[in-house]
Amino acid sequence: MLRIHDTRAGQVVPVQFGRLVRIYTCGPAVHRRAHVGDLRTYVLSDLVRRVLERRRARVLACQDITDLGHLTDYVDAFRADTTALNIRPPEHAPRASENVEPIVELIAKLVERGHAYAAPDGSVFFDVSTFPAYGELSQLEEPRPAGWALWEPGDGEAAWDSPWGRGFPGPHVACSAMSLRFLGPAVDLHLGGIDRRFPHHEDERAQSDAATGHEVVRHWVHGERLLFDGREMAESAGNVVLLPDVTAAGLDPLAVRMAFLEHHYRRPLDLTWDTLRAADGTLRRWRSRVAEWAESPSAPMAAGHVERVESALGDDLDTPAALRVLRELERDESVAPGAKLEAFLHVDQVLGLDLPIDIGKAPTLPSGQTWM
């Protein structure tokens, strides 16, 4: 079983799942390069997936790319970044521009059911007065918005035909349409950053539930914001750090993943270069220790430590507690090196830090020294 914080419920709840768990994560903004703050959401999604798979669940993941009316030059860069962070690709990564037909069908259904209306200029708006549950996800206080655009009139390259005239989808409807198309009308976990809770996820929830007539998402899970040197990460503030900036500083890209794991996903993280250097140091030390332990005789896994790690991960993804157990195991001289090796290798299948990467490599000497 996995216990996780449900945003709508406002508390940690048990996630009951069968053999198949459907997970939806809103994709990146495609009008700019994803920064490390954006990537925290996708590490969270990957961690949830790995924890569930450890518990013998089969995960079906969908992560959209809402590329309507935007340049898509950064999509390949985003995929390279997620690969560098050991984030497993989703089974479905649909582009909104290739799914306009189901988007139009969803809007038409909302109009038919009285949840949306067409304006004389060819726009279509969601009528929030028809959805009394609006605001529950974000604990929104009055006044509620009157609605939002589901379809906007327009022409040009990024425009399509529809029953309401030529135009393009609104900013939130694509996620509802692609979630319903690729995962069906029952999504177990919907993940994202806390900054998308309102209005994007609130609007998405209203659209999906109004179209189907029932609650589509069982659990909404949100990760907290990431700051860098105490400031929001934004181009307008000149405070953006990209993953290539991390590697250019001589740090392993998985130092970013390690730094994320050092902090609970529901707590704001103020990342600094010192934080990243410390995470890089821990990562390199553990890889060196794993390679060293691999030279010792094999021994049964340190099961007690592993059970504590897995218990921490199952309790609302308490990664800081899990890492503390590993540090304790690293220092415990009563545990055989071979047992430490097996434990670290086992746990790394969830943490995704490439801890065995140095096994079998020739040891390196400090600068200026040579082999005799």
pLDDT tens-place string over residues 110-133: 999 999 999 999 999 999 999 999
Query: Is residue 268 domain-resident?
Result: yes
Last residue of a domain, one of 198, 223, 248: 223
Asked whether residue 93 falls in the same domain as residue 174, the answer is yes
Asked whether residue 288 falls in the same domain as residue 268, the answer is yes
- For the chain, the residue count is 372
Last residue of a domain, one of 200, 223, 246: 223
Domain limits for position 353 = 226-357
Edge-to-edge strand ranges of the sheet holding 226-228: 231-232, 226-228, 269-271
Asked whether residue 246 falls in the same domain as residue 201, the answer is no
Asked whether residue 38 falls in the same domain as residue 181, the answer is yes
The CB-side HSE value for 187 (13 A sphere, CA atoms) comes to 29
The lowest-confidence range among 20-24, 131-135, 166-170, 229-233 is 229-233
Asked whether residue 33 falls in the same domain as residue 101, the answer is yes
Asked whether residue 163 falls in the same domain as residue 301, the answer is no
Instruction: Flag whether pLDDT at 51 surpasses 60.
Output: yes
Q: Which two tokens stand for residue 249?
A: 């500083």
Query: Is residue 68 domain-resident?
Result: yes
Q: Give the residue among 120, 264, 250, 96 at the shortest CA–CA distance from 181.
A: 96
Last residue of a domain, one of 223, 251, 280: 223
Asked whether residue 34 falls in the same domain as residue 155, the answer is yes
Contact present, 30 and 70 (Cβ < 8 Å)? yes
The per-residue DSSP string of 100-157 comes to HHHHHHHHHHHHHTTSEEE-TTS-EEEEGGG-TTTTTTTTPPSPPP-EEEEEEE--ST
Pick the residue with more confidence: 255 or 234?
255
pLDDT at 233: 83
Neighbours of 56 (CB within 10 A): 8
Summarised one tens digit per residue, pLDDT across range 217-249 is 999 999 999 999 999 887 766 789 999 999 999
Asked whether residue 250 falls in the same domain as residue 231, the answer is yes
Phi-psi region at 258: left, alpha or beta (left = phi > 0; alpha = psi -120 to 50):
alpha
The C-alpha atoms of residue 305 and residue 307 are separated, in whole angstroms, by: 5
Pick the residue with more confidence: 31 or 220?
220
Neighbours of 10 (CB within 10 A): 10
The CB-side HSE value for 263 (13 A sphere, CA atoms) comes to 22
Instruction: Flag whether pLDDT at 359 surpasses 70.
Output: yes
Asked whether residue 237 falls in the same domain as residue 213, the answer is no
Angle between helix 36-54 and helix 254-261 axes, rounded to 10 deg: 70
- This model's pTM is above 0.85: yes
Asked whether residue 271 falls in the same domain as residue 215, the answer is no
Q: How many domains does the chain have?
A: 2
The C-alpha atoms of residue 333 and residue 323 are separated, in whole angstroms, by: 18
* Whole-number average pLDDT of the chain: 93
Query: Is residue 78 domain-resident?
Result: yes
We report the CATH number of the domain holding residue 158 as 3.40.50.620
Contact present, 4 and 12 (Cβ < 8 Å)? yes
Query: Is residue 178 domain-resident?
Result: yes
Query: Is residue 4 domain-resident?
Result: no
pLDDT at 365: 45
